[in-house]
Structure 1
């Protein structure tokens, strides 16, 4: 069977045949869940095919500018093509660079962002996959979590938020590490396939201001393969069949 090279959403299409990581549930969850509506500038770190940046563009006013940073040239090239083909091409901008070196030297303006989004590498101590590009996308080789938090500290507005999606154990470790960098978890949602199953992912929002953490849960299925009400409500503006 021929492998699918693109993913069609209601308002845009994502080509991902040359991207290291294909369109998946993690990116869709974060892109739909993060609070972005009032942001003037958004940064997507490790954009891959560009799906999270595209979802942010759909959810924000025409004045919102979105920068996407990607270290892998082939992924960045595909993201740029996806941006150009979208209805929001004029406000989506791709930058090929490690986040540790972003923004580049002048004349690039040193923007501060209202929202930072990242579906970051998350495997810290696990077996490496044979594909080098996939290894670096999934394992904390080129972007460890301390570096991500340092970048957020450097690039966020004082009232800005950092939003990430991580597996269960890595997410809890990230919460503790974030405190060491002056960030507090202000939203924490669990995601699991169905009721009674272990938590598979955390959706996490961080701010420099400590306050009570908003908590919630998203289930993928309610019965057999029928999507749950919480997942449908979160993603209804994106999936074609909703």
Structure 2
């Protein structure tokens, strides 16, 4: 079995097309809603790593996760059950579109490491790649559907956190603005100091809440490595509560 050990929990990932990656761990460590969340929703949970990181960080939060792929759903549920916080974690096997049409709950924090390749991108026909493609391409959950669902489910003072590619930031901001969501924190992620920005870590709140609290968009930059496997102090500080060797 393929296991990934963190300081306080272990992830089995042998059934998942998308293995533990930097994006998910970054988001789980970085997200910091302005009020402590008691209800959290993780959209597209995969292995469940983000949910588990948030369970470790927020001791009073109940966390629900959604996963469309049967194998990944079973793996996330198993990882939840085997963690120290199994009583606060629950995974649904469902499409997000189906979920937000049926659920009436509002969440303090909604978080997602969404499929991020545009559906117009070239895909391979290999059956071996099929599930990995589903996890990475946005046919099953386009950004418009993701943000609309967040609009339906987020508490008026809640926070939506996600990680997206830099080259899709402009379009994503158009969609979030349409649904009354304003960026309140943005961190641009670079592999090394000389490389281009690859990812955007972003937090949003409803426009009404932003105005009431006079919030501004706090913009920063995070560089991951000084050299190969030589991590920056910022990256080590962000992930030290989770990675074994940080």
SS at match of 1:102: helix
Select 1:23's aligned residue among 20, 23, 30: 20
SS at match of 1:163: strand
TM-score (structure 2 length as normaliser):
0.91
Q: Over residues 35-91 of structure 1, what are the superposed CA-to-partner deviations in whole Å (9 max), with x where a residue is unaligned?
A: 157101000000001000000000002x31000000111100000000000000000
Supply the RMSD in Å over aligned alpha carbons: 1.5
Distance 1:234 1:116, change over 3 A: same
Match of 2:116 in 1: 122
> Quick one: distance in 2 between partners of 1:176 and 1:222?
34
SS at match of 1:90: helix
Report deviation, 1:212.
1.6
> Quick one: distance in 2 between partners of 1:134 and 1:17?
13
Q: How many residues align?
A: 235
Match of 1:146 in 2: 144
Q: After the TM superposition, which residues 1-242 of structure 1 pair with which residues of structure 2 at under 5 Å, given as runs?
A: 5-36=2-33, 38-61=36-59, 63-102=60-99, 105=102, 110-124=104-118, 125-129=120-124, 130=126, 131-209=129-207, 210=210, 211-242=215-246
Q: Deviating runs (4+, > 3 A) in structure 1? A: none
TM-score (structure 1 length as normaliser):
0.93
Report deviation, 1:224.
4.2
> Quick one: distance in 2 between partners of 1:241 and 1:118?
26
Report deviation, 1:182.
1.0
> Quick one: distance in 1 between partners of 2:10 and 2:96?
26
Unaligned runs of 5+ in 1: none
Q: Over residues 167-186 of structure 1, what are the superposed CA-to-partner deviations in whole Å (9 max), with x where a residue is unaligned?
A: 11113321122111111111
Give yes or no for contact 2:186–2:202 (8 Å, CA) kept in 1: yes
> Quick one: distance in 2 between partners of 1:191 and 1:90?
34
Q: Over residues 89-125 of structure 1, what are the superposed CA-to-partner deviations in whole Å (9 max), with x where a residue is unaligned?
A: 00000000011111575xxx73210000000011113
Structure with the largest fraction of helix: 2
